[in-house]
Structure 1
Protein backbone atom coordinates (compact mmCIF):
# COMPACT_ATOMS: atom_id res chain seq x y z
CA UNK A 1 0.00 0.00 0.00
CA UNK A 2 1.27 3.45 -0.85
CA UNK A 3 1.92 5.88 1.96
CA UNK A 4 -0.71 8.68 2.01
CA UNK A 5 2.01 11.36 2.13
CA UNK A 6 3.65 9.89 -0.98
CA UNK A 7 0.30 9.66 -2.76
CA UNK A 8 -0.44 13.29 -1.90
CA UNK A 9 2.99 14.35 -3.19
CA UNK A 10 2.43 12.46 -6.45
CA UNK A 11 -1.01 13.99 -6.93
CA UNK A 12 0.25 17.50 -6.21
CA UNK A 13 3.20 17.10 -8.59
CA UNK A 14 0.87 15.81 -11.31
CA UNK A 15 -1.48 18.75 -10.73
CA UNK A 16 1.29 21.32 -10.90
CA UNK A 17 2.69 19.71 -14.04
CA UNK A 18 -0.74 19.76 -15.68
CA UNK A 19 -1.38 23.36 -14.63
CA UNK A 20 2.00 24.44 -15.99
CA UNK A 21 1.23 22.80 -19.34
CA UNK A 22 -2.29 24.14 -19.66
CA UNK A 23 -1.22 27.54 -18.32
CA UNK A 24 1.14 27.99 -21.24
CA UNK A 25 -1.66 27.34 -23.69
CA UNK A 26 -4.01 29.70 -21.89
CA UNK A 27 -1.46 32.52 -21.66
CA UNK A 28 -0.23 32.17 -25.25
CA UNK A 29 -3.44 31.16 -27.05
CA UNK A 30 -3.94 34.51 -28.81
CA UNK A 31 -0.30 35.29 -29.53
CA UNK A 32 1.96 34.34 -32.39
CA UNK A 33 5.47 33.38 -31.39
CA UNK A 34 8.64 34.17 -33.27
CA UNK A 35 10.59 31.29 -34.83
CA UNK A 36 13.26 31.77 -32.17
CA UNK A 37 10.71 31.45 -29.34
CA UNK A 38 9.25 28.34 -30.99
CA UNK A 39 12.72 26.78 -31.22
CA UNK A 40 13.27 27.40 -27.50
CA UNK A 41 9.92 25.84 -26.59
CA UNK A 42 10.59 22.81 -28.79
CA UNK A 43 14.03 22.26 -27.20
CA UNK A 44 12.76 22.42 -23.60
CA UNK A 45 11.65 18.74 -23.24
CA UNK A 46 15.07 17.50 -24.32
CA UNK A 47 16.77 19.84 -21.86
CA UNK A 48 14.60 18.57 -19.01
CA UNK A 49 15.36 14.98 -19.96
CA UNK A 50 19.10 15.65 -19.98
CA UNK A 51 18.92 17.30 -16.55
CA UNK A 52 17.30 14.14 -15.18
CA UNK A 53 19.72 11.74 -16.88
CA UNK A 54 22.99 13.68 -16.45
CA UNK A 55 23.65 12.66 -12.80
CA UNK A 56 23.75 9.01 -13.90
CA UNK A 57 26.91 9.72 -15.90
CA UNK A 58 28.83 10.01 -12.63
CA UNK A 59 27.12 7.11 -10.88
CA UNK A 60 29.13 4.26 -9.44
CA UNK A 61 26.17 1.86 -9.62
CA UNK A 62 26.50 -0.75 -12.40
CA UNK A 63 22.72 -0.89 -12.92
CA UNK A 64 22.56 2.85 -13.56
CA UNK A 65 25.48 2.80 -15.97
CA UNK A 66 24.06 -0.13 -17.96
CA UNK A 67 20.64 1.56 -18.06
CA UNK A 68 22.33 4.73 -19.27
CA UNK A 69 23.97 2.78 -22.10
CA UNK A 70 20.58 1.27 -23.03
CA UNK A 71 19.02 4.74 -23.03
CA UNK A 72 21.74 6.22 -25.22
CA UNK A 73 21.41 3.33 -27.67
CA UNK A 74 17.63 3.81 -27.77
CA UNK A 75 18.00 7.56 -28.26
CA UNK A 76 20.04 6.99 -31.41
CA UNK A 77 17.25 5.07 -33.13
CA UNK A 78 13.92 5.76 -31.44
CA UNK A 79 11.69 8.77 -30.74
CA UNK A 80 11.76 10.57 -27.39
CA UNK A 81 8.83 8.77 -25.77
CA UNK A 82 10.20 5.32 -26.61
CA UNK A 83 13.63 6.37 -25.33
CA UNK A 84 12.16 7.52 -22.01
CA UNK A 85 10.19 4.29 -21.61
CA UNK A 86 13.25 2.18 -22.37
CA UNK A 87 15.43 4.24 -20.04
CA UNK A 88 13.03 4.07 -17.11
CA UNK A 89 12.20 0.42 -17.71
CA UNK A 90 15.81 -0.69 -18.04
CA UNK A 91 16.81 1.26 -14.93
CA UNK A 92 14.01 -0.30 -12.89
CA UNK A 93 14.71 -3.82 -14.14
CA UNK A 94 18.47 -3.57 -13.71
CA UNK A 95 18.21 -2.04 -10.24
CA UNK A 96 15.92 -4.92 -9.28
CA UNK A 97 18.21 -7.57 -10.74
CA UNK A 98 21.56 -6.12 -9.66
CA UNK A 99 20.62 -4.75 -6.24
Structure 2
Protein backbone atom coordinates (compact mmCIF):
# COMPACT_ATOMS: atom_id res chain seq x y z
CA UNK A 1 0.00 0.00 0.00
CA UNK A 2 1.45 3.32 -1.04
CA UNK A 3 1.01 6.71 0.57
CA UNK A 4 -1.25 7.77 -2.31
CA UNK A 5 -3.71 4.99 -1.40
CA UNK A 6 -4.51 6.33 2.04
CA UNK A 7 -3.89 10.08 1.85
CA UNK A 8 -7.30 10.76 0.29
CA UNK A 9 -9.36 8.99 2.98
CA UNK A 10 -7.22 10.42 5.79
CA UNK A 11 -7.59 13.93 4.37
CA UNK A 12 -11.35 13.45 4.12
CA UNK A 13 -11.58 12.23 7.73
CA UNK A 14 -9.48 15.15 8.98
CA UNK A 15 -11.59 17.64 6.99
CA UNK A 16 -14.82 16.18 8.41
CA UNK A 17 -13.39 16.31 11.94
CA UNK A 18 -12.37 19.95 11.47
CA UNK A 19 -15.81 20.82 10.12
CA UNK A 20 -17.50 19.03 13.03
CA UNK A 21 -15.50 20.92 15.64
CA UNK A 22 -16.00 24.22 13.79
CA UNK A 23 -19.78 23.73 13.79
CA UNK A 24 -19.81 22.74 17.47
CA UNK A 25 -17.70 25.76 18.42
CA UNK A 26 -19.88 28.07 16.32
CA UNK A 27 -23.00 26.71 18.00
CA UNK A 28 -21.62 27.36 21.48
CA UNK A 29 -20.37 30.79 20.45
CA UNK A 30 -23.68 31.83 18.88
CA UNK A 31 -25.80 30.49 21.75
CA UNK A 32 -23.63 32.30 24.30
CA UNK A 33 -24.83 35.55 22.72
CA UNK A 34 -28.54 34.67 22.50
CA UNK A 35 -30.76 35.55 25.48
CA UNK A 36 -32.33 32.37 26.87
CA UNK A 37 -36.05 33.17 27.04
CA UNK A 38 -38.59 30.69 28.47
CA UNK A 39 -39.81 29.94 24.93
CA UNK A 40 -36.27 29.24 23.67
CA UNK A 41 -35.53 27.09 26.72
CA UNK A 42 -38.68 25.01 26.06
CA UNK A 43 -37.77 24.66 22.38
CA UNK A 44 -34.24 23.50 23.21
CA UNK A 45 -35.52 21.02 25.78
CA UNK A 46 -37.92 19.53 23.19
CA UNK A 47 -35.22 19.22 20.53
CA UNK A 48 -33.71 15.80 21.48
CA UNK A 49 -37.11 14.10 21.42
CA UNK A 50 -37.94 15.69 18.08
CA UNK A 51 -34.65 14.46 16.61
CA UNK A 52 -35.32 10.91 17.85
CA UNK A 53 -38.82 10.91 16.35
CA UNK A 54 -37.56 12.36 13.07
CA UNK A 55 -34.98 9.57 12.90
CA UNK A 56 -37.05 6.60 14.06
CA UNK A 57 -40.38 7.11 12.26
CA UNK A 58 -39.01 7.00 8.68
CA UNK A 59 -36.99 3.89 9.56
CA UNK A 60 -40.04 2.23 11.10
CA UNK A 61 -42.17 3.11 8.07
CA UNK A 62 -39.74 1.31 5.76
CA UNK A 63 -38.84 -1.47 8.19
CA UNK A 64 -42.11 -3.38 8.26
CA UNK A 65 -43.79 -5.06 11.19
CA UNK A 66 -40.50 -6.08 12.80
CA UNK A 67 -39.44 -2.43 13.02
CA UNK A 68 -42.75 -1.48 14.64
CA UNK A 69 -42.34 -4.30 17.15
CA UNK A 70 -38.88 -2.96 17.95
CA UNK A 71 -40.20 0.57 18.42
CA UNK A 72 -42.99 -0.67 20.70
CA UNK A 73 -40.60 -2.78 22.80
CA UNK A 74 -38.12 0.10 23.04
CA UNK A 75 -40.87 2.52 24.10
CA UNK A 76 -42.21 0.08 26.70
CA UNK A 77 -38.72 -0.53 28.05
CA UNK A 78 -38.05 3.20 28.25
CA UNK A 79 -41.27 3.71 30.19
CA UNK A 80 -40.44 0.85 32.53
CA UNK A 81 -36.76 1.43 33.32
CA UNK A 82 -36.01 4.98 32.07
CA UNK A 83 -32.65 3.94 30.61
CA UNK A 84 -31.83 4.85 27.00
CA UNK A 85 -29.32 2.05 26.47
CA UNK A 86 -31.68 -0.59 27.87
CA UNK A 87 -34.50 0.64 25.61
CA UNK A 88 -32.24 0.62 22.55
CA UNK A 89 -30.94 -2.88 23.33
CA UNK A 90 -34.44 -4.22 23.94
CA UNK A 91 -35.74 -2.68 20.71
CA UNK A 92 -32.85 -4.05 18.67
CA UNK A 93 -33.27 -7.46 20.28
CA UNK A 94 -36.97 -7.43 19.44
CA UNK A 95 -36.26 -6.57 15.81
CA UNK A 96 -33.67 -9.35 15.57
CA UNK A 97 -36.05 -11.86 17.15
CA UNK A 98 -38.92 -10.81 14.89
CA UNK A 99 -36.76 -11.11 11.79
CA UNK A 100 -35.40 -14.47 12.97
CA UNK A 101 -39.01 -15.64 13.17
CA UNK A 102 -39.50 -14.58 9.56
CA UNK A 103 -41.47 -11.37 10.02
CA UNK A 104 -40.77 -8.66 7.43
TM-score range, shorter chain: 0.5 to 0.7
Listed as ranges, the gaps of 5+ residues in structure 1 are none
Equivalents in 1 of 2:21, 2:96: separation in Å? 28
Which of the residues 68, 73, 77 maps onto 1:74?
77
What is the aligned length? Answer: 91
> What is aligned with 1:28?
31
Max radius of gyration: which structure?
Answer: 2
Give matches, 1:45-84, under 5 Å. 45-59=48-62, 61-77=64-80, 78-79=82-83, 81-82=84-85
Structure 2 unaligned regions, length at least 5:
1-7
Q: Distance in 1 between matches of 2:20 and 2:91?
A: 19
Superposition deviation, residue 46 in structure 1: 0.3
What TM-score, normalized to structure 1?
0.58
TM-score (norm 2): 0.56
- What's the RMSD between the two structures over aligned residues? 3.8
